[in-house]
């Protein structure tokens, strides 16, 4: 973990649904400023439910999520805040979903999708909104002309870049990346992963990177937490997990993961 106080502190987080299913059962972890923690596991292991609870998009059955804006700030207990009290924090805590086409409103152009957060949070007005949208699209490798296109007129890689620009627009410090490249071709995956790493370096972002493909995780993560049946069963640095995985679930995930070879992030897809 990187030096300094944790940006996100998760303690004993749990979720039990009305039918008695325990989706998450006592998960704890920390994420430092500028750090990426990968949460990995098979389908149904509880990783996406965990990510949504961390942002309070889903209420927890028990547990604590504390968010620290910066190293000098007191941590904020997210589950102790009302929805109204959370509203100012929402722009600092963002998410990028697995399926970019499903996460974008089909009735809004790419430019409108990116501009929405700017307007909602009062971060820009009138002509300044359009200028900011152009800047954001350029930052994620998209031409200004693409802001007039609707999601279905974009490739999968372009759609995900728009989704990343939308999250970036409101100035977050912490982003949950929920399988952000699993719906993309391998060559496009590398481009988007390089983009996420570049943005992290530029803005000091902290990431919770949710995935099932450990080769992708090795490329982006500082530390890894492996989930099975709602619990974390193994943790370590990315190198420790790849070189000496101890748990059978981790070894199975490694065996099932194709190699992801790093290539240049130039160009778009």
At 41-87, the pLDDT tens digits run: 999 999 999 999 999 999 999 999 999 998 888 999 999 999 999 98
Among candidate residues 252, 265, 155, 121, the one with its CA nearest the CA of residue 200: 265
Give the model's pLDDT for residue 19.
92
Give the model's pLDDT for residue 125.
76
242 CA to centre of own chain: 22
Give the model's pLDDT for residue 71.
83
Give the model's pLDDT for residue 260.
53
Within 10 Å of residue 189's Cβ, how many Cβ atoms?
23
Give the model's pLDDT for residue 124.
81
pLDDT one-digit tens code per residue, 224-252: 999 999 999 999 999 999 888 899 999 99
Task: Look over the chain and give the mean of its residue pLDDT values, rounded to a whole number.
Answer: 91
Among candidate residues 185, 191, 256, 199, the one with its CA nearest the CA of residue 226: 256
236 CA to centre of own chain: 19
Domain boundary assignment for the chain? 1-92+172-269, 100-171
Q: Which residues contact 21 (CB under 8 A, 6 or more apart)?
A: none
Within 10 Å of residue 119's Cβ, how many Cβ atoms?
13
Which CATH code, of 3.30.465.10, 3.30.2010.10, 3.40.50.300, 2.60.40.10, is assigned to 1-92+172-269? 3.40.50.300
Burial class of residue 81 in the structure, from the number of CB atoms within 10 Å of its CB (0-12 exposed, 13-18 middle, 19+ buried): middle
Order the strands of the 76-77 sheet from edge to edge.
22-32, 6-16, 62-67, 76-77
pLDDT tens, the chain, 269 aa long: 455 689 999 999 999 998 999 999 999 999 999 999 999 999 999 999 999 999 999 999 999 999 999 888 899 999 999 999 998 899 999 999 999 899 999 999 999 999 999 988 888 877 788 999 999 999 999 999 999 999 999 999 999 999 999 999 999 999 999 999 988 888 899 999 999 999 999 999 999 999 988 888 988 999 999 999 999 999 999 999 988 889 999 999 988 877 654 433 334 45
Q: Which 3 state secondary structure label does DSSP give 209? A: strand
Give the model's pLDDT for residue 266.
39
Q: Which residues contact 149 (CB under 8 A, 6 or more apart)?
A: 109, 110
Q: How many residues does the chain have?
A: 269
Q: Which 3 state secondary structure label does DSSP give 84? A: helix
* DSSP-assigned beta bridge partners for residue 32: 6
Positions of E strands within the chain: 6-16, 22-32, 36-41, 62-67, 76-77, 93-96, 174-178, 206-211, 223-228, 231-237
């Amino acid at each position: 973990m990187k030096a300094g106080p944790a940006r996100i502190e998760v303690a004993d987080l749990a979720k039990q649904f009305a039918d008695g299913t325990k989706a998450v059962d006592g998960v704890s972890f920390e994420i430092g400023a500028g750090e990426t923690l990968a949460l990995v596991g098979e389908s149904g292991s509880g990783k996406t439910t965990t990510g949504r609870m961390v942002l309070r998009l889903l209420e927890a059955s028990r547990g604590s999520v504390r968010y620290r804006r910066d190293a000098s700030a007191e941590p904020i207990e997210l589950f102790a805040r009302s929805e109204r009290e959370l509203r100012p924090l929402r722009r600092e805590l963002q998410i990028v979903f697995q399926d970019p086409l499903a996460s974008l409103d089909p009735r809004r152009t790419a430019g409108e999708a990116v501009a929405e957060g700017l307007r909602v949070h009062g971060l820009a007005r009138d002509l300044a909104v359009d200028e900011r949208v152009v800047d954001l699209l350029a930052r994620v490798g998209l031409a200004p002309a693409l802001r007039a296109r609707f999601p279905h007129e974009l490739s999968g890689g372009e759609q995900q870049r728009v989704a990343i620009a939308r999250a970036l627009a409101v100035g977050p410090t912490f982003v949950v990346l929920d399988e952000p490249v699993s719906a993309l071709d391998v060559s496009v995956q590398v481009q988007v992963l390089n983009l996420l790493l570049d943005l992290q370096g530029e803005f000091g972002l902290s990431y919770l990177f949710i995935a099932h493909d450990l080769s992708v995780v090795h490329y982006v993560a500082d530390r890894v937490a492996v989930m099975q049946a709602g619990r974390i069963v193994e943790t370590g640095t990315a190198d420790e997990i790849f070189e000496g995985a101890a748990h059978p679930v981790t070894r199975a995930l490694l065996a099932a993961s194709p190699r992801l070879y790093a290539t240049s992030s130039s160009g778009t897809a």
